[in-house]
Structure formats: C-alpha cells, structure tokens
Amino acid sequence: MLSYILPFIFQIVIVVFIHEYGHYYFAKRFGVGVTDFSIGFGKEVFGFNDRTGTRWKFSAIPAGGYVKMFGDESAASTADIDKLTEMSDTDKQRSFHYKSLGQKAAIVAGGPLFNFILTIGIFTYFIFVNGITSTAPIVGEVLEKSAAQEAGLIAGDEILSINDGKIESFQDISLAISTNLGNISKYFSF
C-alpha cells in the first residue's frame, strides 16, 4: 500500500509546489511581501525562513498548499481589515490588497499558468522519450448495412488512402471522412 501512497504524495507535492510557486513568483515580481509558502495544510512539520522573511514549510496534511501574503489574515488570503487600514504607505506597497487589478490578476493566475507550463513540459518529455502512439489503419469489424460495408471494406483490410490522401494512422481516416463527406465510398484504396 505504501508503494501507492508515497508516489501519489510525491506527485501531489510537486504539482502543489509548482502551482504555489507561480503565485509566489508573481507576488515577488510585483513587490508583494510573502510571509508563508506552505506545502500542505495544518500544523507545520518542518520549515525554514529565507532572507526575505518568507517561511517555507511542509505541513501535516499534504493535500494542497498556500502562499500567504503580507496583509492577509489567513492562508485563504482574506484581508485583515484592521491591519490594512492602519498600514503605512511603505507597508501598503508590500500588500497584495493594494496592488492594481492587473497585478492581482497576474498573481492569482500565476499558479494555474505554472501548472500549464509543467503539463507542457511533462508531455513534451514523454513524447520525446516514447514518441506519439498511433493505431494502424486496419479494419477490425464491418457492421452490416454500414457505410464501410457499402464501400467494400472487410475485416483485416488496411486503408492506404482516401481520395488520393495517404492514410498512415486510424486518426487520419476520421479527418479524411469529415473533410470529404458525400464523395468517399468510391475513393478508398486498400
């Protein structure tokens, strides 16, 4: 059971870290103070403070995470109204709540954006390592009274071309059919 749970937790930690780092990156870029960067929720298990005062920590429940910004009352980024009204001009420049709408939007969108970049990276890696799989254009079964039967196809036929367009994979067939509706039955080559 541990061989399933530990890899799952590891993957969640990576995805959460990348997501939260997206928020952190844009917050820092726009001069917002970040007080906490947490992987997980609940009680802190271990952590450290960096030179800018951010507490980087792992918490007991590894089912998410958060970036707590300067001026927030909680990890859910709810504003501490009392603290916000009493802030000096210097502190207001470090607070998420006093940033422009565009900056706030970039900070909020940073997490999903970084996850999107992570996804592109993972898929690119797998495509380079494994290639793109495709299914050979071989007919598995022909249904009675179907367009395939009317075209003369039988089980085991390999479709080589449609309307003089070369067919290399099963996906090519649906593209050829959808772009040549009404005039294909006499143009199959197999």
Q: Are residues 174 and 89 in the same domain?
A: no
Q: Evaluate whether residue 135 is within a structural domain.
A: no
Q: Are residues 180 and 98 in the same domain?
A: no
Q: Evaluate whether residue 20 is within a structural domain.
A: yes
Alpha-carbon dihedral 68, 70, 73, 75, rounded to 10 degrees = 0
pTM: 0.68
pLDDT value for 20? 96
Q: Evaluate whether residue 47 is within a structural domain.
A: yes
User: Residue 187 above 60 pLDDT?
Assistant: no
Q: How many domains does the chain have?
A: 2
Q: Are residues 26 and 68 in the same domain?
A: yes
pLDDT value for 115? 97
- SS3 assignment for the chain: CHHHHHHHHHHHHHHHHHHHHHHHHHHHHCCCCEEEEEEEEEEEEEEEECCCCCEEEEEEEEEEEEEEECCECCCCCCECHHHHHCCCHHHHHHCHHHCCHHHHHHHHHHHHHHHHHHHHHHHHHHHHHHCCCCCCCECCCCCCCCHHHHCCCCCCCECCEECCEECCCHHHHHHHHHCCCCCCCCCEEC
Catalytic, 168? Answer no
Q: Are residues 123 and 58 in the same domain?
A: yes
- Top pLDDT among 32 and 2 is at 32
User: Residue 75 above 70 pLDDT?
Assistant: no
Integer CA distances (angstroms), 84 to 80, 81, 105, in order: 6, 5, 20
pLDDT digits (tens, 9 = 90+) for 144-168: 888 778 878 888 888 888 877 888 8
Write down the catalytic residue from 20, 86, 144, 158: 20
User: Residue 40 above 60 pLDDT?
Assistant: yes
Q: Are residues 88 and 47 in the same domain?
A: yes
Q: Are residues 160 and 109 in the same domain?
A: no
Q: Are residues 94 and 44 in the same domain?
A: yes
Q: Are residues 181 and 105 in the same domain?
A: no
Q: Are residues 115 and 164 in the same domain?
A: no
Highest mean pLDDT among 77-86, 140-149, 175-184: 140-149
Q: Which domain holds residue 95?
A: 2-130
| Residue 159: both structure tokens together | 């479709």
Q: Evaluate whether residue 61 is within a structural domain.
A: yes
Q: Evaluate whether residue 140 is within a structural domain.
A: no
